[in-house]
Amino acid sequence: MSTDPSPSESEVEPSAEPPEQGAAEESAPLPKRRVWVVFAVAALLWAIDLLTKNLVVANLEGKEPKPILGGLIYLQVIRNPGAAFSMATGMTWVLALVATGVVIAIVWISRRLRSVGWAIGLGLVLAGALGNLTDRFFREPGPLRGHVVDFISAFAPNGQGFAIFNIADSAICVGGALIVLLSLLGKDYDGTTTRGKKKESE
């Protein structure tokens, strides 16, 4: 018969709780998909862009620039065959194809979106691309060659203070800036934070 004392309960090794906690954190559910945010933002801004373009064409085309906000903004209709802010004039069909590619790419990546910020940013870019692409297809002089309606001239008429633009151009710029900011902050489109991951690996 063995005379060794049986180990007391206090001498029993405690269960390894930290690994279980780490495993629980790793298996935490991901944020919900944000596809609906992309298309909700895109639909709203696309509608605003189309509405404002149709209104200014119907009421201001062929007329003198109309100052609003004390001359901070001038409204006037300019038919732009180029890109945003009148760049790349003369490459209308190329720009139409590029915009089509942008739309397809955003629709494809939207299936994996879990970040609200990224969803809003991509929704704004999608709205801008669709707004100007609509002009490329349905305005004169014809499909893939249509001129975009620009009507906002900041600080001075005729684009003398700043390039003439529209709501779609603004949406593209704001959406692009938001995406760049989120990337700099380490916020990924899938809802994860790369900056935190880097610190943990170090």
pLDDT at 170 (0 to 100)? 95
Q: Which member of 135, 169, 188, 190 is catalytic?
A: 169
Report in angstroms the alpha-carbon separations of 136 from 35, 79, 109, 145. Answer: 26, 11, 24, 6
In the block, residue with structure tokens 């014809």: 142
Q: Is 4 a catalytic residue?
A: no
For position 97, what pLDDT does the model report?
Answer: 83
pLDDT on residue 50: 97
Reading the chain (202 residues) residue by residue, the pLDDT tens digits are 555 555 554 454 555 445 555 444 455 566 787 889 999 999 999 999 999 999 999 999 999 999 999 999 999 999 987 655 555 555 667 778 888 899 999 999 888 888 999 999 999 999 999 999 999 899 988 887 889 999 999 999 998 988 899 999 999 999 999 999 999 999 998 888 876 554 445 4
The pLDDT, as a whole number, for residue 68 is 94
Q: Coil, strand or helix: which one is 186? A: coil
- 78-83 long-range contacts, CB within 8 A, separation 24+: 78/149, 78/150, 78/151, 78/159, 78/164, 79/139, 79/140, 79/147, 79/148, 79/149, 79/150, 80/147, 80/148, 80/149, 80/150, 80/164, 81/145, 81/147, 81/148, 82/148
Q: Tell me, what's the pLDDT at 86? A: 52
Catalytic status, residue 135? no
Record the tokens describing residue 96, joined without a space.
């139409």
Task: State the helix-helix crossing angle for 116-138 and 92-109, rounded to 10 degrees.
Answer: 150
What's the whole-model pTM score? 0.77
Taking the C-alpha atoms of residue 65 and residue 67, their distance in angstroms, rounded to an integer, is 6
d(CA 33, CA 196): 21
Among candidate residues 4, 135, 150, 188, the one labeled active-site is 150
pLDDT value at position 159?
87
Instruction: Determine whether 41 is exposed, middle or buried from the number of CB atoms within 10 Å of its CB (0-12, 13-18, 19+).
Output: buried
Distance CA 150, CA 163 (A): 10
